[in-house]
Amino acid sequence: MFCTNINGGPRFLLTRFCCCCSLRTGTLVIASLEFVIIAAVLVLQMCYQKMTSGAAAGMVLEIFVHLLVACLLIHGVRKHQPFLVWGWVWMRCVLVVTDLANYVVKVAYSQILGAVVLAVLFTAALTYNILVVRSYAYTMSTADTTERLDSISEASDIRA
């Protein structure tokens, strides 16, 4: 991994979600809340804004990408597919960077201090979500590796 500690393990690896729930539960909560919030934004966007401009159509496309990514995370967790969970982590990192750049541009034009504070809080919450899902993906990947090694050793014990 790119980000390792002194012992060679990953840095910033969480063991619990909000100090009380498992990482799997936390990942499902994050994905479900993300899906519900983004679906509500999509409905509001389509109801209250005219779809004649290219910017509005681009925003709807971006919302659909967010919905697709949330669905992939839910499916990956439920079916125990680490590559989909890791895909969510990487896609969310890209989306956070692009969203943050979008917020910086909007705040620069509006010059409202409250918007800056809101953008910082939003980015902090998304970063925590990424850390939770990344920690779960790492535990899924290491569990799969351990299971494969155990099955290989059991197969060699049976042959011997």
Tens-level pLDDT at each residue, the chain (160 residues): 455 556 666 667 777 777 778 888 888 888 999 899 988 888 887 777 665 566 667 777 888 888 888 999 999 999 988 899 999 999 888 888 887 887 777 777 776 767 777 778 888 888 888 888 888 988 887 766 655 545 544 555 455 5
pLDDT of the residue at 149: 47
Q: What are phi and psi of 14, to 5 degrees?
A: -90, 155
Provide the CA 85 distance to its chain's centre, in angstroms: 8
As given in the structure block, the two tokens for residue 25 are 């539960």
Is the overall model pTM greater than 0.85, yes or no? no
Cβ-contact 38, 65 below 8 angstroms: no
